[in-house]
Chain A
C-alpha cells in the first residue's frame, strides 16, 4: 500500500511540469499568479485542518460548553475569521492586476490576432510589420506588450507558463504583456470556446535571449528562400497553380493571400497548425485532409492532387525555412 502510494505520488505532480503549466512559471506574471495560487492552497489547507480538528473535537467532546463560549466561537471563527481571510485574499488578488496590466513605456510591438482556429501575429520591425503564425518568439528579461484582436468570434490568449489570460474580442483591442524569465518553448491555448476545433487552437512561444530573438525576427522579415532543387521548384509552381496563394502568403512570390497563415518561413516552425510536429507527413495531411486535423477548419481539402504533387508541395514548404 505504502509502496503504491510512493509510485503514484510523482505521477500526480508530473502534471505540474511541462510546457503548459501555470505551476511551472517561466515568466514574471506567471510567477505572481503561481504565488497567489500556492498561498490559497496552503491557506485553504490550514483552514481545512482547523475545521476537521474542530469537527473531531465536537464529535468526541463529552462535557457541555457554556452558551457564551459557543456564541463567541461562532462570532470569531464563523464571521470575523472568514471575513478577514476573504478580504485579504481579494486584496492580494486585486493587487496583482496593476503589475499584470503594466505594458511598459513603449507602444506594443506585437499584434496578436486569434482566428478560427489559428493565431496570426505581427511584429513591428522598424517601420514595417512582419507577419508570422502559430509560433511567437519573445525575448527573455524584457516586457513585451501585445495587442489582442479577433476578426470572427471571441477567443482567449493564454500561455500558462508565462502569464495571464485575456480575451480577443471582435471590434475591440485588448492588451497583455509577458515577461519571460526562463528560455524555453511554451505552449499556449485558446481558452474561450470558439468552434469545433477550439481545443486544437494551440500555439507555441519560444522565449530566448534578446540577441537570438532579434536574429529570428530579422530572418522572419526576409522574403522566402528560392527553391533549391527540382522537386521544390515543381512544388512552388503547383502551390501557385492550385490557388494556395489565394489564402496564403509566401513573401517574395506571387502568393499574397491574407486569409490563412503566412507560409513564408513555415519550414522554420517546430509545429504545424499549432498541434502537429512540422514534418513531411503533417504537411501532406494538412493539404489532403485539414478537416481531419481540425474539424470545421477554414481550409479546403485538396483531394484531387496526386501523391506526387502533394509530396512536391510539402517538400517545397519544408524548404521555406
Chain B
C-alpha cells in the first residue's frame, strides 16, 4: 500500500463556506435549457393552435404579441440565470478551467456551465422568436 494520495485532497482553507454544493445544485444546470424548451413549446403551441382554428390568411398579430411576451419573459429569466452562473464562475480567485477536485472549483465549474448554457439558450430563444417578426398571417 502506498502511503501517498489516499482519500480526498484537503480543501483550500480560503474556500468560502457559501461554495458548498448540495446534490440539488445540479438542477440549476437544467434550468436554462428548460426555459428554452418552455419558450419553444409555448410559441409553437400558440401559433399552431390558433392557426388550426383560424382562417388561412388570418392575421397573426395576437400570436405575435403573445410570442413577444413569452420571449421577453424567457430572455429575462435567462439573463438572470446567466448572471447567477457568472457570479459563481468568478467566485474566489481562480479563472482557470475549474477542474480541481475541490469544493470551490465544483462551485465555479457549475457556475460557468450554467453561464454557457444560458448563453446558448438565449440564442435559441431569440432564433425561435425571429420568424414571428416576419410572418404576418397564418399562411
Which A residues contact B (CB, under 8 angstroms)?
Answer: 79, 83, 87, 90-91, 94-95, 97-98, 101, 173, 175
Contact = CB atoms under 8 A, between A and B. Distances in A.
B113 to A, nearest CB: 15
Interface in B123-137: 123, 126-127, 130-131, 133-137
Nearest to B136: A98
B56 A95 contact: no
Nearest to B127: A90
B139 A95 contact: no
Contacts of B134: 94-95, 97-98
Nearest to A175: B139
A6 B122 CA distance: 49
Nearest to A147: B56
A91 B130 CA distance: 8
Given A83-B123, A173-B56, A94 B136 contact: no
Contact of A90 (B130, B135, B136, B139): B130
Given A83-B123, A173-B56, A94 B139 contact: no
B116 to A, nearest CB: 10
A97 B135 contact: yes
A101 B137 CA distance: 10
Contact of B131 (A87, A94, A101): A94
A309 B56 CA distance: 50
B138 to A, nearest CB: 11
Contacts of B127: 87, 90
Given A101-B139, A173-B56, A175-B139, A94 B130 contact: yes
A207 to B, nearest CB: 24
Contacts of A87: 126-127
13 contacts: A87-B127, A90-B127, A91-B130, A94-B133, A94-B134, A95-B134, A97-B131, A97-B134, A98-B134, A98-B136, A101-B137, A173-B56, A175-B56
Contacts of A175: 56, 139
Nearest to B119: A79
In order of increasing CB-CB distance, the 4 nearest A-B pairs are: A94-B134, A97-B134, A101-B139, A94-B131
B78 to A, nearest CB: 15
A79 B122 CA distance: 13
Given A83-B123, A90-B127, A98-B135, 4 more contacts: A91-B130, A94-B130, A97-B134, A98-B134
Contacts of A101: 137, 139
A106 B130 CA distance: 29
Nearest to B116: A79
A150 to B, nearest CB: 16
Contacts of B126: 87
Contacts of B123: 83
Interface string B72-112: 00000000000000000000000000000000000000000
Contacts of B137: 101
B110 to A, nearest CB: 20
Contacts of B131: 94, 97
Nearest to A95: B134
Nearest to B126: A87
A108 B84 CA distance: 55
Contacts of A90: 127, 130
